[in-house]
Structure 1
Amino acid sequence: MSKLGENLLKISVILMVLLSLFLSWKIWTKPANHQFQDRTDKVKAVIQKKEMTEVYMPTKLFYHHGSGDHFLYTNKESTMKSLHEKIVSLGFGSSKVLSTAEITNLTTKRDLFNLVYPSPIPISLFINMNNVSATLPHDSKNFLFNWLVMSLDDNKLYFVDYKNKTGIEFDIKGNIASIASILDAESNNYVTAILPTDELNYAGIYYLADSTKLKTYSYIIATQSFTTFSRGFFNQPNDLFSNEGENLSLSNSEGESLTIDSKTGEVNYFGKLKQDHSESINELYYETFQYVEDMGSSLGNLRYFSDTGNEVIYRNYVEGFPVFGDNMKGSMAATVQNKNVFIKANQDTLQIPLPSDDSVTLVPTQEVVDSLINKGVDMSKVSDIQIGYKWQQNKETQQAIDLVPSWYVNYDNMWMTQEKLESILVKGGHS
């Protein structure tokens, strides 16, 4: 497509979205201090709820095939979904707790693949939400894992927390040949990765061996109305009242409240839990997921990303990579405490992709690590390094944003770009 054609396409898409934004503005500029009748029943009819197994999924695949120390890596969603479906359909036999030596040996075995989750989840959650019939070893129901490893040559399945060198092994039976055919498909578009086993990589981070060229994506953004959030979050979404002020503020007689910042679009909700899952050992995941479920696709392709204490963070994924933005753009966080829930999100959501030929070349992971070390980073505080998309304003129009590929570092339990972390250290920050 010619440059002129691309520009005309962009302009036509933007004009359509501007019309949509104008209609939204007409709704938003209604007078304050009046009662809102949220047409919840009508809206619910068109919302397709998410399944928990769609959200709590692995996001990386590493395949150790043939000779050598290298792995084949892809984050192709359809491949991982197919493998995951095959795994949960297998027959699970006897199980045992792995020793540290057995976990270390897994890193060198051949004909093995590893589905990696963005953060550890309980094995009991995996079993329950996938309806797997499996008997855990004694006192293992609270075991957390982020590696789901399968050996093709001895019919073993391993749930592993590599950082803590703990794991559980299952004997399995089923159609293993069909799994191998998924792994060997040419459409997986593998790139080369390695798994350093030195003391600097205690968290078990797979390194991309070569430079990676990734596209920069541009999206028209949609500004979700307050009804989207009142429907998805409130226990009582009808008979809401607004309060005067620069920012939209809604509340009801049940003590639920929601505010939307007029400048940043950040959404904050507080209320009682819709459903209390306190009888479940995995209550935090079920209690926060119900709000992701009720939002459907309104906030994009949300996936489980991490949890800390009583908070779970869900992020948008685009082309297999997580999205990072200021003021909760591209993400949602839910905190549960004393049967109350506090949710943070953003009105702005990804809607229509725009044509773009721009790309970014990212250096191999080892170069990122070397740069961090040279800047004085304490690598014991680095629990993950991965590629993410940085949400930033498009220079041509306020109605569009760019997603720029960047290296992200989880340093001292905080995610930031490599450049930001290094600039903090240069300015005198502590490592």
Structure 2
Amino acid sequence: MRFSKYLIPLALTIAVVVSLTLSVVLWTNPANYRTNKQTAQSPTSQQMVKPRGYVYSPVQAIHTNADGSQVILVNKLVNTVTEIKKTMKNYKDPHIKTLSKNSKVDYFRIANQTDSIMLNYSDTVSMKMVNHIVHNRFKKLPNYKINRIVLPTNNSTKLYLLADKNFTVYEIDIKKHSLKSLNNVLKMDMRTQPASFKLLNNQPTVYVTTAVQMQPYKYLIDRQSDDYYVSRLLNSADSQNINVKRRKKTTIYGDQSSLQLIFNSSNRMAEFSDFRPNHNLRNLTSTLNDSYKNLIKLGVPMDNVRFFSYDQKTRSVMYRTYVEGFPIFRSDGFGTVSTRTLNSSAQRSEFSLDNPEVPLPSNKGYTSLPSTETMLKRLENRGYNIKKISKTRIGYTWTKDKTSPLLIDLTPDWYVYYNNRWLSYTSLMNQY
């Protein structure tokens, strides 16, 4: 009885001592706190790192019917391109040859051939990237640069690769295989959109030939803290002493030698610079591979993130989040992540601290977007030089939701690459 009299006070004293000890450890070494927080909040621990074949995947499927008419294939329940990719794993004994070059006639003859599905990449990729979506079946083929894959639905021994540059067509002969699974994709409940594939200012472009009904979305976003990225990117053996500078809405972390991390609180964007030596290979495959490794290193959520563009001059690679096969654009044209190799001793990544996570019901009705021809004609009537447009995309505009900082609105809109910048059709029309 006498011992139990002192048991509770003794236990409380031990608890207080332990608590104070832990507090001292956290105060004297905040990196431990960031590491623990990283373990608890790491998005890469909550979702699997996506393979190259996922990130460097085609983003659009066009079906050319037996009568030559074309439609964009969209399925709200499953990703159409993913379903088609599942049928592309059994190509045996592939042999490739150049079918034509510098011939627009031959290029469009193959691209628009009847009974075929064309998979479009958002920008040029190398065959090494294509190899990742065909289960390594093309590993022995030359590392050509391509933009599109044409899959005949009535010929089980051939497929075609199209390179927009120089209008090049490659033919791949393969051992005969079953086309049943590929044709079964066409039997799914699709929301098709009439389209045509032709030239826009000498660039192969998918034209939407009728008005498009698009569903606006409201998304709950994943908001990652600065601490997570500080711990992930700067907490290493090479960065023992981290300095912090604060300038208005900008916070700069650096190790005084090779690493720097900048956060902008106004737009929730971050910039990570790594000044350590890198391989600095200038070919497309090396750049895409290095960019993918940097994407993994950052640890941003990768669900629905796809390769969007590559700028050879600046060696920049852009990734965007896709919704129903359509890319998301912010007001400044930025996407989800951009990586850039500056030289042999500098790489830089820009990324968002906020990313769409969960779609929520929206009370807004469908938005009607004009056809490609109508959209271009209206811009021309407003005084824009259509010859300065090299690309067009249907996408979603990211805007902050007024009701909550954890919500965003995704509004359908046309985007055009005008004067080397992605600009929305609505913003261009509202300028005059």
Q: 1:329 to 1:105 in 2, by over 3 A?
A: closer
Is 2:341 the partner of 1:345?
no
Query: Is the 8 Å Cα contact of residues 83 and 182 (structure 1) preserved in structure 2?
Result: no
Gaps of 5+ in 2: 1-25
Displacement of 1:205: 1.4
List alignment gaps of at least 5 residues for structure 1. 1-30, 427-431
Distance in 2 (CA, whole Å) between partners of 1:279 and 1:342 is 16
Per the alignment, residue 72 of structure 1 pairs with: 71
CA contact 1:329–1:348 (8 Å) conserved in 2 = no
What are the residue-to-residue correspondences of 1:21-40 with 2, within 5 Å?
Answer: 36-37=31-32, 38-39=34-35
Q: How many residues align?
A: 388
Counterpart AA for 1:66: A
* Matched letter for residue 35 of structure 2: R
Alpha-carbon contact 1:234-1:256 (below 8 Å) kept: yes
Q: How far apart, CA to CA, are the structure 1 residues paired with 2:393 and 2:333? A: 19
1:51-87 residue CA offsets vs partner (Å, 9 max, x unmatched): 11110111110011221x4212124463211222322
Paired AA for residue 303 in structure 1: R
Would the aligned equivalents of 1:328 and 1:345 in 2 still touch at CA under 8 Å?
no
Residues 80-89 or 106-115, more deviating: 80-89
C-alpha distance in 2, partners of 1:416/1:279? 29
- CA distance 1:260–1:192, shift in 2 (3 Å): same
Match of 2:11 in 1: none
C-alpha distance in 2, partners of 1:348/1:400?
A: 10
> 8 Å contact 1:195–1:204 — kept in the other structure?
yes
Instruction: Name the TM-score, length of structure 1 as normaliser.
Output: 0.80
Is 1:308 matched up with 2:311?
yes
The more displaced of 336-345 and 271-280 is: 271-280
CA contact (8 A) 2:87 2:182 kept: no
Matches within 5 A, 1:44-83: 46=45, 48-67=48-67, 69-76=68-75, 78-83=79-84
Aligned partners of 1:411, 1:363: CA distance in 2, in Å?
A: 18
- Structure 1 window deviating more from structure 2 (271-280 vs 226-235): it is 271-280
Shift of 1:92: 4.4
Which of 182, 185, 202 is the matching residue for 1:183? 185
Match of 2:154, SS state, is coil
Pairing 1:294-373 to 2, within 5 Å after superposition: 294-296=297-299, 298=301, 300-309=303-312, 310-326=315-331, 330-336=335-341, 337-358=343-364, 359-373=366-380
Post-superposition CA distance 1:354-382 (Å, at most 9, x none): 22131311112221122233334443432
Identity %: 21
Opposite residue 88 of structure 2, the aligned amino acid is I
The answer to whether structure 1 residue 406 and structure 2 residue 413 are counterparts is: yes
| Conserved 8 A contact 2:116-2:150 | yes
Q: Secondary structure at the match of 2:222?
A: strand
Deviates more, 1:184-193 or 1:285-294: 184-193
Code of the aligned partner of 1:39: T
Change (3 A) 1:177 1:390: same
Shift of 1:236: 2.1
Equivalent-residue separation in structure 1 for 2:409 and 2:391 (angstroms): 24
2:92 is matched by which residue type in structure 1? Answer: G
Match of 1:218 in 2: 218
| Contact 2:337 2:351 survives alignment (8 Å) | yes
Q: CA deviation at 1:147?
A: 0.8
TM-score by length of 2: 0.80
Equivalent residues of 1:388, 1:408 under 8 A apart: yes
